[in-house]
Amino acid sequence: MARLKEHIFLTGFMGVGKTSTSRALSRMLGVKETDTDAMIVEKEGCQISEIFDKKGEAYFRSLETGILDDIKNMKPCIVSCGGGMVMRSENVRKIKETGKVVLLSASPETIYLHVKDSTNRPLLNGNMNIPYIKKLMDERMPKYLDAADVVIVTDGLNPKEVADKIVETYLKYIPK
């Protein structure tokens, strides 16, 4: 069982594989993993799509910021972040205070294959197509890159292979 010195935050566009990679990395290192979206769902008692519908995106983004305060008080672990987490500079600041940021990246075509059957993606409802996904990814990419300590392209890789790349990159942060 490894002991992390700080959190490892997995960021990136929705459907890139943050949650499945987080689980694989958690098993590999024997450390806890958590998912910011799941924490919000538990705290609010309803699905993210409901939060968006009833209270709006701004309210949801505030919940994300609050969740980072909860994570700050946790033992270092693997954190799978919602796709928009790093859009707020306040969130990036809080993340950087407690960990390293791994940006998982994939092509719009790969993202589409991962999300096309999902009804749980409020920002894609009514826009489930590659051109819209590419447009949204292009808008977010500068903030993703600014927040990232390292970028890992996940196209063609399974979650374990992505986790292997993360371990290779962050070996110095994972004491033996």
Question: DSSP assignment, residue 17?
Answer: S
List, for residues 56-84, the tens digit of each pLDDT value: 888 998 999 999 999 999 999 999 998 88
pLDDT (mean) for 16-44: 93
Give residue 5's pLDDT band: very low, low, confident or very high (50, 70, 90): confident
pLDDT (mean) for 33-40: 94
pLDDT (mean) for 1-12: 84
pLDDT (mean) for 115-143: 77
| CB-based contact 32:77 (threshold 8 Å) | yes
Give residue 134's pLDDT band: very low, low, confident or very high (50, 70, 90): very high
Coil, strand or helix: which one is 138? helix
Question: DSSP assignment, residue 174?
Answer: S
pLDDT (mean) for 120-135: 72
Say yes or no to pLDDT of 176 above 70.
no
List, for residues 100-126, the tens digit of each pLDDT value: 999 999 999 998 887 776 656 555 566
Q: Please give the model's pTM, rounded to 2 decimal places.
A: 0.88
List, for residues 155-171, the tens digit of each pLDDT value: 999 999 999 999 888 76
| CB-based contact 145:6 (threshold 8 Å) | no
Predicted confidence at residue 15, as pLDDT, reads 83
Task: Specify which residues 150 forms β-bridges with.
Answer: 102
Mean pLDDT of the chain: 88
Contacts with 66 (C-beta within 8 Å, 6 or more apart), sequence order: none
